[in-house]
Amino acid sequence: MADIEKEVVFSKEQKQLIKEIVGDENFSHHDWTKEEQKESLQALRSHIRKHYRMEQKAKCAYCRKDVGVQSASSCHIEHIAPKEKYKNYMFYPKNLCVACADCNSIKWKRDTIKPLNNGERKRYPSSSGAFLLVHPHFDDYAEHIDIFRDRWYVDKTKKGHFTIGLCKLNQRSIDFGYVEPDEVIVLAEELRDAKSKGSSHLVDLIKKRMVELLND
């Protein structure tokens, strides 16, 4: 089951606001904070943030750490496909979630959609397979990434690997002086192989050993 079950729903007035902004001939991604409609947009962003904060149980979509339950500065509205590259998806409900300030900033405008072989994408993708990262509206995070001691992220799939690199999830712990044991790296690779082969007993043994190492 996907991490986000219910996308945000806009009122009639909110839909009209979005239509006016997107319909402007000078529409750009900068209109997310358009000065001329500052108050209306602030209310719209607050509505989006409140919905996904609740839907995600106040957890960042990428690192799974807590986001702020009051402050907007520690609970950013995240555009899964970056608005800098895909302005037409800027208000699309399935392209929105909440993320911590670090993940939102580090990810920034890096592309997250697989390129098409036959030109430009005209519609927002409707399935997980079109995305490079773990998509909270389409994917179950636990199927792609394991987290040990709330600090070390181990990829279980290509999507998991991409997401960990995209947001530099392990690099942050290293920057703060936490050194990942060499054996953990080897075990992480063995864990991925064991899961791909469906060896549940081996998976349990490897996880147990990883926990022992990280608790030393």
Sequence spans of domains, the chain = 12-108, 181-216
* pLDDT value for 53: 98
pLDDT in tens, 89-111: 999 999 999 999 999 999 999 99
> Looking at the predicted structure, is the pLDDT value of residue 200 above 90?
no
* pLDDT value for 188: 74
Question: What's the whole-number average pLDDT of the chain?
Answer: 90
* pLDDT value for 120: 80
> Looking at the predicted structure, is the pLDDT value of residue 117 above 60?
yes
- Reduce the secondary structure of the chain to three states and give it as a string: CCCCCCCCCCCHHHHHHHHHHHHCCCCCHHHHHCHHHHHHHHHHHHHHHHHHHHHCCCECCCCCCECCCCCHHHCEEEECCCCCCCHHHCCCHHHEEEECHHHHHHHCCCCCECCCCCCCCCCCCCCHHHECCCCCCCCCHHHCEEEECCCEEEECCHHHHHHHHHCCHHHHHHHCCCCCCHHHHHHHHHHHHHHHCCCHHHHHHHHHHHHHHHHC
Q: Identify the band that residue 178 occupies on the pLDDT scale cut at 50, 70 and 90.
A: low
pLDDT in tens, 126-164: 999 999 999 999 999 999 998 887 878 888 899 999 999
Pick the CATH number of 12-108 from 3.90.920, 3.30.70, 1.10.10, 3.40.1800: 3.40.1800
30-34, 95-99, 175-179, 209-213, range with the lowest pLDDT: 175-179
> Looking at the predicted structure, is the pLDDT value of residue 193 above 90?
no
5-9, 38-42, 124-128, 145-149, range with the lowest pLDDT: 145-149
pLDDT in tens, 43-88: 999 999 999 999 999 999 999 999 999 989 999 999 999 999 999 9
